Structure 1
Amino acid sequence: MTDPDVGAIMGFSGFGKKARTFDLEAIFEQTRRTAIERSRKVLEEERSVERPYEPTSCAGRSGSPSRKGHTGDLTRSPVDSENGSDDSDNESEKSGPTLPSQMRRLDVEGESAVGPPLPLGYGKQQSETDEEDDEEKEDDEDENPLKRIPDSHEITLTHGKKTVSALGLDPSGARLVTGGYDYEVKLWDFAGMDASLQAFRSLQPCECHQIKSLQYSSTGDVILCVAGSAQAKVLDRDGFQVMECVKGDQYIVDQAKTKGHTAMLNSGVWHPKIKEEFVTCSNDGTVRTWDMNTEKKHKSVFKPRSMQGKRVIPTTCVYSRDGKLIAAACQDGSIQIWDRNLNVSVTLSNSSRHVIFTAHDPGRGGPFPPHQVLMKGDDTIKTWDMRNFRNPLNVASGLPNIFPMTDCCFSPDDKLLVTGTSVKRGQENGKLVFFHRETFQKLYEIEVTDASVIRCLWHPKLNQIMVGTGNGLAKVYYHPVKSQRGAKLCVVKTKRKAKQSQTVTQEYVITPHALPMFREPRQKSTRKQLEKDRLDPVKSHKPEPPVSGPGRGGRVGTHGGTLSSFIVKNIALDKTDDSNPREAILRHAKEAEQNPYWVAPAYVKTQPHAVFATPEAEEEVEDDEPEWKKRKL
């Protein structure tokens, strides 16, 4: 059977339509021509916008003669004026700037055609322009490093009422730890705080010792706590103790023979590369390195010496950025640097890599970049070149300093130096001063508060500056655009409202099948229940005020304090004369006879009537007795 017969039998006209075929070359050619026309129209619109006044078209339409010398020179050439309006179209097509090389491409047939659509070309140029603007901004910031200082906004964290002597921030910038002269260590979590700016934990890890230094390890999982005791402690992120250094024997003269420090600690820092190692310095005249895995003994000992070979006390210690050198600033004004890998038994002349004498009056130090040491002391700040220790590179004076742990540090790009100034509380304002690293020119200063600025820390990831002051405050300076996270996370959160219940109400138990006499009335609302409780004299009983005076109802007065003091006071105020005990007892005889309470009721039926002796009878008995038996009065 043929196809029409099968279709007629089954009720349809055909077996479907044939598949549609597409000419891909024709489609591509049509798309190309459409893009060309669209780009040509866009270009013409751009030309018309750029040249809103066309002198050729105006002259062609009006036929008016040209005006040479007109302002702006809007005339045409003589040849163009003769052609008139016939060449106006050609002139309008030829007018405008030529297309750049990126906007041109050759047609398949060899004809010159406009390139890709205009927005793509302009987008590329725009991105290049943005990159150039960013580079210009970076160049401007490099030329003026003050633009990198994040000081537009600040928040204030209240540590306490005493000096904030220690400050630390973990490498990620999520948590801040502060310590002070009040023996307290407080932990702050920027992501968990709200606008109330309260610490989530407060503790006293070293009992009654002032906190000297706090620092997170390179991984941020533990905190090194250095206090006024002879034993440094390592705490975890929540403040619980992980390790405590051992204390040395204070009766051994050679400090290298002891297992730990024997005097008050001054400072301590973590190794920048090895997370288990840290270094501490003490008043016993030693600098010791420690390993968390061996807490029973130090790892190595370095003993600074003066020019005469005597023991000197290091006030601070620090690692170099590569961790190969250890520097210590001493009380005699010297800066001494050792190689970390040298043996302890080597003599001083060999173990001391670099020694600077008379660097400062009281030496205080800070971190140093490659080949440079930054030290602060005797109201000055100096930088030294490790390759030439004869003279300092730069010196900045006029920086008052009272506290031995006053910080000086570099900016994240190592182009600025930052330090704080000390003042007498209430007289002046403590300042945070910025210097140029190369020239030591004073560039900028921030007035922090009316107390000394002791600790300063510029975090490179957050681009925020943390400052510890002498009046118990820790301030954080940041910029809403230049800074990242940190203080920006907590300032946007509103304070949480604490739920306070005015009164304690009984829970309502629903018993639908209970008898009416045992069924509790249903509570309609809390307000009505509170009104009913207010009318109840038992529930709304007013608390009794403190007793004033000698006391009443078995309650002791406020001036008594304790029962013993109350009894002593009543005895002192008692004016009765108890010189004759017999009379004092007989005063209660009549009442005891009429209302017996203690002894008499038990012997009423068995004992005879008591007869007490009278004074006259006593005198008669005394007269009958001999002289030697008489009582001496």
Structure 2
Amino acid sequence: MSDNEDPVIENDEALDSFLPQGFGKQDTATNAASRFAQSKRAPNTKREQISDNEDSDDGSDNPEDDYPISHELVIRTHDRPITTLDVDYSGSRLISGSTDCTFKLHDFANMAPNTVRAFKSIDPHEKKDSATSDVHPIHHVEFNPLAPSLVLLVTATTQARIYDRDGEVVTEFVKGDMYLRDMNNTKGHVSEITSAAWNPIDRNLCVTSGTDSTLRIWDINVKRSQKEVMVYKSRVAGSAGRTRMTAVRWSSPVQGGPNLLVSAALDGSLVMWSGNGPFNRPAGEIRDAHKEGTWTGGLDISKDGFSIVTRGGDDTIKLWDSRKFKQPVTVVQHPSTSSQYQSTNIRFSPTSTSILTGSQTGHLHILNPFTLQPDVVTPITPGSPLITVLWHEQLNQILTGSANAETHVLYNPGMSTKGAVLVMSRAPKKRHIDDDSTLTVDMAEGVAGDEVITPGGAPIRAPGGRSARGKDPRKPYIPATTPFAKSQPAEEHIKSSIPLSSMRDEDPREALLRYAEKAEKDPVYTGAWSKTQPKTIYAEISDGEEKEGPNRKKARR
């Protein structure tokens, strides 16, 4: 190259991405718009039908204009199907449960587009019974609507738990005596709990449904016994008066409706109690609400307390009126997934103007609350069943959990607030060395180096949801051996100045055996008594005793 020629510099993509493209204040709105565009869903959503009184020429044919489903945020923090989801009232914290026996806490305020992860993963039964913790999937999680700092958790055990919003145990309800036949006399459930719900007007009360044919109302301040017990006596022949209670919901009388407690049973019954009591007998009962022996896991009550929707294992969705609790108002066919996933649910929208549920094919169905016909059908996880759905009122976002362990947060930037909108509007965080999965804990299971760990928080867990110390709680903690721990700078000085200092690194038994012969010949520690040691004297044994052996007690005749 001559002196007159300009030097040729090759483009370095890594350097270009690191250096700023401009100076001064960046246009945050433009960057957020580009990230929203990246999260926009494919235009494969379709409106199934339009009612007669709806004008199809006003531009409302696009369902994305009416429902927050135009964009999505995908969260992959579980290893197995997600069975339950809930978001606190303010919409800042998401909790999800799965058949991988863990529930995970997500904070929207600490997530960015490239750091979508859970800040804590908890196995409720790891410390209590590490040998059988893999057989307790999460059935239900629910934030307290009146006290968002409390979370009701139900696993495949006989004891429900109350956690705080940071994942610490507050209360664990008592287990009943399985040897008592009368369920009215047991202090708790004697078999697996299937579902639970909070009281909508009393922050201290919750209800659980169990496979011991009972519903039990608990006071979170009294964990030694339930407050009320409702024993449902099945009328099915051969059931001995017992059945499994599969789902329970507690309606809110906020909009002037009745306070109801509704539960479904495995014998096909749908039972209704007055939420204010007494609980001696049901206020209404439908024996053949669904087919006997099928699992009815989907149950919800509208805001006004008059409409009840159920999704049964007999491939039907039925709408009921609590004022005429005899026959269903509407019945439609809908393939069920409750045979595989018992926690498959169905939910009313926040205004009760729509009903949400999933399908076996992985589609989200938004149903008309009067006809139960789908207004909108949109694919979420094609080929993987959609198990749990939720429409949050404050966020105006729809959350779904699927069998492929994915949580999808559907939103619309123009209609939704906070939540996924807040996450996608942030600039991606710069990669930190502590975020390298080969150097630290997996991001899906633990926390990163730039996360804030609150005092008293749970320890970081290794991949797989286990504690970093191993499965056996009796095994002592063995610190990692680093190059610095093998040779200390003052090690040679200590060995030369302190006699016998090297013995601290030796096995005591081997050290004693090594110096046994030397101690005999040259007793260093016992030199002061070497000349005054007493002589060992044993009793002399006569010839007769040596032959006959020691004297023994004569046997009694």
TM-score interval for Structure 1 and Structure 2 normalised by the shorter chain:
0.5 to 0.7
Aligned partner of 1:263 in structure 2 is: 191
Q: Is the 8 A contact 1:206 1:229 kept in 2?
A: no
Aligned partner of 1:283 in structure 2 is: 211
Output the TM-score relative to the length of structure 1: 0.54
Q: Is the 8 A contact 2:355 2:366 kept in 1?
A: yes
Instruction: Give deviations 1:56-114, integer Å, cap 9, x for gaps.
Output: xxxxxxxxxxxxxxxxxxxxxxxxxxxxxxxxxxxxxxxxxxxxxxxxxxxxxxxxxxx
Matches of 2:172 and 2:59, distance apart in 1: 46
| Aligned-partner residue type, residue 201 of structure 1 | K
Aligned partner of 2:442 in structure 1 is: none
User: What secondary structure sits across from 1:191 in the alignment?
Assistant: helix
Matches of 1:148 and 1:182, distance apart in 2: 35
User: What secondary structure sits across from 1:489 in the alignment?
Assistant: helix
Taking the TM superposition and a 5 Å limit, the aligned residue runs for 1:396-545 are 396-402=332-338, 403-422=341-360, 429-449=361-381, 450-493=383-426, 494-499=428-433
Instruction: Give deviations 1:191-218, integer Å, cap 9, x for gaps.
Output: 1111220111111123321100000001
Aligned partner of 2:289 in structure 1 is: 359
| Aligned-partner residue type, residue 391 of structure 1 | Q
| Aligned-partner residue type, residue 337 of structure 1 | M
Would the alpha carbon gap of residues 342 and 168 (structure 1) be closer, same or farther in structure 2, given more than 3 Å must change? same
Aligned partner of 1:212 in structure 2 is: 139
Structure 1 residue 282 displacement after superposition = 0.8
Q: Show structure 2 runs of 5+ residues with no match.
A: 1-53, 127-132, 437-482, 484-516, 522-557
User: What secondary structure sits across from 1:294 in the alignment?
Assistant: coil
Structure 1 residue 281 displacement after superposition = 0.7
User: What secondary structure sits across from 1:223 in the alignment?
Assistant: strand
Aligned partner of 1:201 in structure 2 is: 120
User: What secondary structure sits across from 1:360 in the alignment?
Assistant: coil
Q: Is the 8 A contact 2:357 2:365 kept in 1?
A: yes
Structure 1 residue 141 displacement after superposition = 9.9
Q: Is the 8 A contact 2:96 2:105 kept in 1?
A: yes
Matches of 2:259 and 2:435, distance apart in 1: 61
Matches of 1:171 and 1:268, distance apart in 2: 18
| Aligned-partner residue type, residue 496 of structure 1 | K
Aligned partner of 2:330 in structure 1 is: 394
Instruction: Give deviations 1:414-465, integer Å, cap 9, x for gaps.
Output: 221111112xxxxxx4111111112222211111113110010001111100
Matches of 1:324 and 1:141, distance apart in 2: 40
| Aligned-partner residue type, residue 374 of structure 1 | V
Q: Is the 8 A contact 2:270 2:287 kept in 1?
A: yes
- Among 307, 312, 317, the residue aligned to 1:381: 317
| Aligned-partner residue type, residue 356 of structure 1 | I
Matches of 1:267 and 1:400, distance apart in 2: 18
Q: Looking at CA atoms only, which structure, 1 or 2, has the larger radius of gyration?
A: 1
Matches of 2:268 and 2:247, distance apart in 1: 12
Structure 1 residue 389 displacement after superposition = 2.7
Taking the TM superposition and a 5 Å limit, the aligned residue runs for 1:155-166 are 155-166=73-84
Q: Which runs of 4+ in 1 moved over 4 A?
A: 139-146
User: What secondary structure sits across from 1:367 in the alignment?
Assistant: strand
| Aligned-partner residue type, residue 371 of structure 2 | T
Would the alpha carbon gap of residues 178 and 306 (structure 1) be closer, same or farther in structure 2, given more than 3 Å must change? same
Would the alpha carbon gap of residues 178 and 371 (structure 1) be closer, same or farther in structure 2, given more than 3 Å must change? same
Matches of 1:288 and 1:245, distance apart in 2: 11
Would the alpha carbon gap of residues 472 and 253 (structure 1) be closer, same or farther in structure 2, given more than 3 Å must change? same
Q: Is the 8 A contact 2:63 2:376 kept in 1?
A: no
Q: Is the 8 A contact 2:64 2:70 kept in 1?
A: no
Matches of 1:276 and 1:500, distance apart in 2: 41
Q: Is the 8 A contact 2:363 2:378 kept in 1?
A: yes
Matches of 2:63 and 2:267, distance apart in 1: 36
Instruction: Give deviations 1:396-417, integer Å, cap 9, x for gaps.
Output: 2133323221111112222211
- Among 317, 332, 340, the residue aligned to 2:275: 340
Matches of 2:229 and 2:66, distance apart in 1: 41
Matches of 1:204 and 1:187, distance apart in 2: 12
Q: Is the 8 A contact 2:149 2:165 kept in 1?
A: yes
User: What secondary structure sits across from 1:358 in the alignment?
Assistant: coil
Would the alpha carbon gap of residues 417 and 500 (structure 1) be closer, same or farther in structure 2, given more than 3 Å must change? closer
Structure 1 residue 500 displacement after superposition = 6.5
Matches of 1:446 and 1:501, distance apart in 2: 35
Structure 1 residue 143 displacement after superposition = 11
Q: Is the 8 A contact 1:246 1:296 kept in 2?
A: yes
| Aligned-partner residue type, residue 279 of structure 1 | V
Matches of 1:143 and 1:256, distance apart in 2: 55
Instruction: Give deviations 1:3-57, integer Å, cap 9, x for gaps.
Output: xxxxxxxxxxxxxxxxxxxxxxxxxxxxxxxxxxxxxxxxxxxxxxxxxxxxxxx
Taking the TM superposition and a 5 Å limit, the aligned residue runs for 1:201-350 are 201-207=120-126, 208=133, 209-218=136-145, 219-308=147-236, 310-322=241-253, 324-344=259-279, 346=280
User: What secondary structure sits across from 1:246 in the alignment?
Assistant: coil
Matches of 1:324 and 1:437, distance apart in 2: 20
Matches of 2:58 and 2:301, distance apart in 1: 26
User: What secondary structure sits across from 1:488 in the alignment?
Assistant: helix
Counting aligned pairs with the same residue, the percent is: 33
Aligned partner of 2:67 in structure 1 is: 149
Would the alpha carbon gap of residues 303 and 142 (structure 1) be closer, same or farther in structure 2, given more than 3 Å must change? farther
Structure 1 residue 142 displacement after superposition = 9.9
Matches of 2:334 and 2:166, distance apart in 1: 40
Instruction: Give deviations 1:323-367, integer Å, cap 9, x for gaps.
Output: 7221110001110011233345x3xxxx11010111112223322
Matches of 2:420 and 2:276, distance apart in 1: 40
Structure 1 residue 159 displacement after superposition = 2.4
Output the TM-score relative to the length of structure 2: 0.61
Q: Is the 8 A contact 1:230 1:263 kept in 2?
A: yes
Matches of 2:118 and 2:435, distance apart in 1: 25
Matches of 1:140 and 1:246, distance apart in 2: 58
Q: Is the 8 A contact 1:335 1:359 kept in 2?
A: yes
| Aligned-partner residue type, residue 245 of structure 2 | P
Q: Is the 8 A contact 1:415 1:438 kept in 2?
A: no
Q: Is the 8 A contact 1:159 1:178 kept in 2?
A: no
Aligned partner of 2:497 in structure 1 is: none
Instruction: Give deviations 1:474-498, integer Å, cap 9, x for gaps.
Output: 1100001110111111123313311
User: What secondary structure sits across from 1:269 in the alignment?
Assistant: strand
Structure 1 residue 147 displacement after superposition = 3.2
Structure 1 residue 321 displacement after superposition = 1.7
User: What secondary structure sits across from 1:366 in the alignment?
Assistant: strand
Q: Which has the higher helix share?
A: 1
Structure 1 residue 239 displacement after superposition = 0.1
Would the alpha carbon gap of residues 220 and 142 (structure 1) be closer, same or farther in structure 2, given more than 3 Å must change? farther
Matches of 2:334 and 2:319, distance apart in 1: 16
User: What secondary structure sits across from 1:352 in the alignment?
Assistant: coil
Matches of 1:500 and 1:142, distance apart in 2: 48
| Aligned-partner residue type, residue 329 of structure 1 | A
Q: Show structure 1 runs of 5+ residues with no match.
A: 1-135, 423-428, 503-539, 541-597, 603-633
Would the alpha carbon gap of residues 469 and 313 (structure 1) be closer, same or farther in structure 2, given more than 3 Å must change? same
Q: Is the 8 A contact 1:223 1:236 kept in 2?
A: yes
Higher relative contact order (CA 8 A, sep 6+): 2
Instruction: Give deviations 1:498-548, integer Å, cap 9, x for gaps.
Output: 13799xxxxxxxxxxxxxxxxxxxxxxxxxxxxxxxxxxxxx9xxxxxxxx
User: What secondary structure sits across from 1:256 in the alignment?
Assistant: helix
- Among 347, 363, 371, the residue aligned to 2:306: 371
Structure 1 residue 470 displacement after superposition = 0.6
Would the alpha carbon gap of residues 408 and 500 (structure 1) be closer, same or farther in structure 2, given more than 3 Å must change? closer
User: What secondary structure sits across from 2:422 in the alignment?
Assistant: helix
Instruction: Give deviations 1:362-390, integer Å, cap 9, x for gaps.
Output: 22332212211110012211101112233
Matches of 1:496 and 1:246, distance apart in 2: 47
